[in-house]
Chains A and B, each alone.
Chain A
Amino acid sequence: MITLEFVNVLMGIMMVGIAIVNVRDTTNAKRYNNAAFWGIYGVTFLAGSYLPNFVNGLLVLAMVSIVAIGKLGGAPPEQTTRAERELSAAKWGNRLFIPALTIPAVALLGTFTLKGLHLNGVALVDPKQVTLISLGLATVVALVVGVVMLRPPASAPIVEARRLMDAVSWAAVLPQMLAALGAMFALAGVGPIVAGILARWIPLDTTFVVVATYTIGMALFTSIMGNAFAAFPVMTAAIGLPLIVHRFGGNVVIMAAVGMLSGFCGTLLTPMAANFNIVPAALLELPDQHAVIKVQVPTALMLLVANTAIMYLFAFR
Chain B
Amino acid sequence: MLPLIGILIVVVGFALRFNPLVVVAVAAIATGIAAGHATIDVISAFGKAFIDSRSVPVVWLALPVIGLLERSGLKERARIVISRIHVATTGRLLLAYLALRQITASLGLVSLGGHPQMVRPLVAPMAEAAAETRWGELPERTRYRVRAHAAAADNIGLFFGEDIFIAIGSILLIRGFLDQNGIHVEPQDLAVWAIPTAVCAFVIHGTRLLLLDRSLKAEIDDERAP
**Does B16 touch A at the CB level, under 8 Å?**
no
Q: Of the listed stretches A26-34, A52-60, A203-211, name the one at the interface; the rest are far from the partner chain.
A: A52-60
> Chain A residues with Cβ under 8 A from B1's Cβ?
193
Binary A-proximity of B169-200 (CB < 8 A = 1, otherwise 0): 11001100110010101000111011011001
Bound-state CA distance A174–B22 (Å) is 9
SS class, residues of chain A in contact with chain B: helix
The answer to whether B111 touches A107 (Cβ under 8 A) is yes
Q: Are B72 and A152 touching (Cβ within 8 A)?
A: yes
Closest B residue to A56 by CB, please name it.
B47
For A310, list chain B residues within 8 Å (CB).
196-197, 200
Please report which residues of chain B, range 55-95, place their CB below 8 angstroms from some CB of chain A when the two chains form the complex.
55-77, 80-81
Asked if B47 contacts A59 (CB within 8 A), the reply is yes
Identify the interface centre among A111, A163, A284: most chain B CB within 10 Å of its CB: A284
Query: Bound state CA distance, A291 and B69, in angstroms?
Result: 26
Interface residues of A in 128-183 (CB under 8 A from B): 129, 131-132, 135-136, 139-140, 142-143, 145-147, 150, 152, 156-161, 163-165, 170-183
A99 within 8 A of B: yes
Q: Which residue of B lies closest to A301 (CB)?
A: B204
Decide yes or no whether A122 CB sits under 8 A from chain B.
Answer: no
Cβ distance B182 to chain A, nearest Cβ, rounded Å: 10
Chain A min CB distance to B14 (Å): 6
**What residue of chain A has the Cβ atom nearest to residue B153's Cβ?**
A295
| Smallest CB separation, A165 vs chain B (Å) | 6
Number of A-B pairs, beta carbon distance below 8 Å: 395
Give CA–CA (A174, B19) in the complex, Å. Answer: 10
Find the B residue at minimum CB distance from A294.
Answer: B148
CB of A7 within 8 A of CB of B71, answer no
A188 touches B35 (CB 8 A): yes
Given A55-B47, A80-B71, A232-B177, 5 more A-B residue pairs with CB atoms under 8 Å apart are A57-B46, A135-B58, A146-B65, A267-B159, A280-B119
13 interchain pairs (CB within 8 A)? A54-B43, A57-B46, A80-B72, A111-B111, A174-B20, A179-B50, A181-B28, A183-B45, A187-B37, A193-B1, A253-B190, A303-B204, A306-B204
Top 7 A-B pairs ranked by shortest CB distance? A160-B67, A57-B47, A89-B73, A56-B47, A183-B49, A188-B35, A57-B43
